[in-house]
Amino acid sequence: MKARQLVNVVMRRYGMGSSLYAVSRIKPEEQLFYPSTKEAQASSTGEMETISISRMPAPSLRLELSVSKEDKRLDFLPFYERGSGGHSKILCVDAEGRTVLYDTDAGLLHSMPCLGTPKGPNPVSFSILDREPRDPGRADALYVMGRCCDYFDFEALMYCDPSSGRKGWRWHQLPPPPVPRAAASAVGCHALIHDEGDPILVVSSAKTSGVGTHCFNTSTNRWFKAGRWTLPLVGRAERVSELDNLWFGIGGGWPYDLCAMDLYSLRAAGAEAPGLAYSWGDLSLPDDWVMMDCSMVYLGGGKFCVAKIFEFCVGDDRLGMGAVISGLEVVRRGEPSKLVMVKHKSKFYKFTRDEIECIL
């Protein structure tokens, strides 16, 4: 894949109920990586050095919701455009399901249709290439589902065939996962796998819910249960073909390490729980730091940009928050060869004026 040159940092004005959001763009190769792997290894003392920063680059986008709305949250979903190889579009979704598409390269906003139903905070999304597109020039599809059981409604954004008389992007209702609403479940980890070319969407519940892991075949529009177990990751897991075809993500428990695992067994119902193939410690954290959220972007060439948001004590039992954004590289070493992680640079951004929501 072509290496990512820019990473989008989604920010929100710090403080309860803020409705002002912004998207800044950073150059990870310049800010988070040494010029070479050897230089990173030579500079390493065993622990990644973290540099504090006070501001992000000037935002390329600012969005503010109407002050009359009670829920002023916006969610930002990556629309990866797998067909074109781009990473420049982001779908912005408000609490009522209204959407707008932001083209980060062109700096343009495009009106999009509203979701059929709201998806709640921090919805799960999958961007895939439709094998039978209605318009070959717009073959990308975005699947969106609520993260909590109260919002498990499931929809896909696809481009309609102009000959159908309904030219343009449309949301298509899909069956929700076969999980009873009384189960009080929430999606802890999600991933995209393929079975003979068919994209399979994987959603794994939080460990304590007992709901387990379910898979959705996008060709048949049917769900099946992979097992009652849960994946030991949090957030999105991403497959990296050049690194043994493993899926990479952030571990779901302290100290929230970068991890890799094989998910191919999930292509069939009743699969055994996959275990971690690798787990690498990237940060040395104080004991009182609690991770609240995380996100990861694969840049290509074995390099990752990882953002972790923490809550911690600031004197006199006051709580503070901040984010650590790190540049990590995974390379092959040794005989027999195995994957090892090389730490590059890490930057800490304390939340004072703005808070980081995620990176895309």
Q: In terms of pLDDT, which residue wins out, 75 or 163?
A: 75
- In this prediction, residues 243-249 reach a mean pLDDT of 96
pLDDT at 86 exceeding the cut of 60 = no
Tell me the chain's radius of gyration from C-alpha atoms: 20
Domain ranges across the chain: 7-359
pLDDT score for 278 = 97
Q: Domain 7-359: which topology?
A: Neuraminidase (2.120.10)
Contact of 218 with 143, CB cutoff 8 Å: yes
Instruction: Read off the pLDDT band of 84 (50, 70, 90).
Output: very low
Nearest partner of 215 among 248, 177, 185, 173, judged by Cα? 177
Dump pLDDT digits (tens) for 29-52: 999 999 999 999 988 766 666 788
Classify the C-alpha dihedral 120-121-126-130 as positive or negative: positive
pLDDT score for 83 = 42
Average pLDDT of the chain?
87
Contact of 272 with 213, CB cutoff 8 Å: no
Return the SS3 of 28: helix
Least confident of 206-210, 238-242, 331-335: 206-210
Amino acid letter for position 124: V
pTM for the predicted model, two decimal places: 0.91
Structure tokens at 13: 């004005």
Q: Residues near 181 by Cβ (< 8 Å), separated by ≥ 6?
A: 149, 150, 152
